[in-house]
Structure 1
Amino acid sequence: MRFDLTPTGMAGTRATRWMAIGWLLLMVCLVLQGCSTAPTRKEPLQLKLLIETSGNLNSDEQGRAAPVMVRVYELKSAAAFDSADFFTLQNEDKKVLAADLLAVDEFIMRPGTDERIERKSNPATTAIGVLVGYRELGKSVWRATWRLPEAPDAAWYRAVVPDRTVALKIEARDQAVSITEVN
């Protein structure tokens, strides 16, 4: 029996070993990649907001209704919004809400009118805040907040399965604002 120990035979064996080591390293890298955890990306919620004002909105002593300023905020956290006073929010909302402020819409609304906001929320949004500029702030409920459900994780099947929709009704009545969920 004769073994071929020529340089070509040895080179073939070395190449085979290096190829096996290369495949082994590739497999180890793939296994480790599969075990790593990446931060989960969140899907935005679909927001459908209906803002309605009553016919006796912001009425004076004679019962005459008047327009109001309405702001709707998308917030990362409602804590700063809930603790700030009206004038700070009216004049310095971007400063006082800082990193919690994701989006804001502002309307001047007449009594008996409505506005709609339909869009995808920022994935970091956890609350909706509403500010209404009533004539007599001391006698009114000028702020309301609504905690949103947690945004779902991003998934490949969102193309065929619709995302989560949150429908809210914001009512600005005579001297109070409220938020309710619409089913």
Structure 2
Amino acid sequence: GHAKSVPSRYSLVFDADRQVNAAAGAQPAPIKIRVLLLRSDAEFMDADFFSLQNDAKSVLGNSLLDSDQFFLTPGQTGKKLGGQSALDARYIGVIAEYQNLDGKTWRISLPLPEPTETNFYKVWQFSPDELEAHIVAGVSGLRPVKKVD
């Protein structure tokens, strides 16, 4: 049979803490979230915040396959982002652009399932593996929340 690789899918849900992006004494502000589809997360985890913020393409080179961005308002819950990843994508990187980065977890990397090989005659009954993640942008940074079955 002819094996065919099917990229994994991802389904992310984001929540923001009500005090998410409050600089000292200021009102909480919307926070920009960037989601990056990566071949490798080594460059992503090594780079500093400002390089990633200003010029992710040149810092990440060809490990960056795609990116998306959106704002979360303080207290917002259930913001969904999903899709088909690329065949050579292995990680999803998430960056939160906090006003004050001190001691905050402003980036996380989530491993994607491997693309699945399937025989063409089975495709109709087949669904690729999916990365499902629930991510909270909290006062102390990003954190993935384990799903409860």
> Which TM bucket (shorter chain)?
0.7 to 0.9
After superposition, what is the alpha-carbon deviation per residue over 1:22-67, rounded to whole angstroms, capped at 9, x for unaligned? xxxxxxxxxxxxxxxx9x7531112111111111111222363111
Residues 134 and 175, structure 1, Cα contact 8 Å, conserved in 2: no
Are 1:138 and 2:108 an aligned pair? no
Q: 1:122 aligns with which of 86, 90, 93?
A: 86
The equivalences for 1:20-169 within 5 A come to 41-62=4-25, 64-114=27-77, 115-156=79-120, 157-169=122-134
Q: Determine which structure has more spread, i.e. the larger CA radius of gyration.
A: 1
CA–CA distance in 2 between the matches of 1:154 and 1:138?
Answer: 46
**Where does structure 1 differ by over 6 angstroms across 4 or more consecutive aligned residues?**
none
CA–CA distance in 1 between the matches of 2:37 and 2:110?
Answer: 10
Which secondary structure state, in structure 1, belongs to the residue aligned with residue 86 of structure 2?
coil
After superposition, what is the alpha-carbon deviation per residue over 1:3-26, rounded to whole angstroms, capped at 9, x for unaligned? xxxxxxxxxxxxxxxxxxxxxxxx
After superposition, what is the alpha-carbon deviation per residue over 1:63-89, rounded to whole angstroms, capped at 9, x for unaligned? 631111110111000000000000000
Instruction: Give the superposition deviation at 1:155.
Output: 2.7
After superposition, what is the alpha-carbon deviation per residue over 1:138-158, rounded to whole angstroms, capped at 9, x for unaligned? 231111111122221143212
Which secondary structure state, in structure 1, belongs to the residue aligned with residue 123 of structure 2?
helix
- TM-score norm. by structure 2 comes to 0.88
Task: For 2:99, give the aligned amino acid.
Answer: R
CA–CA distance in 2 between the matches of 1:180 and 1:152?
Answer: 25
- TM-score norm. by structure 1 comes to 0.73
Instruction: Give the superposition deviation at 1:179.
Output: 2.3
Point out where structure 1 has 5 or more consecutive residues left out of the alignment: 1-37
- Structure 1 residues 123, 180: closer, same or farther in 2, change over 3 A? farther
Residues 167 and 181, structure 1, Cα contact 8 Å, conserved in 2: no
CA–CA distance in 1 between the matches of 2:54 and 2:48?
Answer: 10
| C-alpha RMSD over aligned residues | 2.0
Instruction: Give the superposition deviation at 1:104.
Output: 0.6
CA–CA distance in 2 between the matches of 1:79 and 1:98?
Answer: 11
- Structure 1 residues 71, 94: closer, same or farther in 2, change over 3 A? same
Instruction: Give the superposition deviation at 1:177.
Output: 0.5
Which secondary structure state, in structure 1, belongs to the residue aligned with residue 58 of structure 2?
helix
Structure (1/2) with the larger strand percentage: 2
Partner of 2:143: 178
CA–CA distance in 2 between the matches of 1:149 and 1:180?
Answer: 18
Instruction: Give the superposition deviation at 1:180.
Output: 3.9
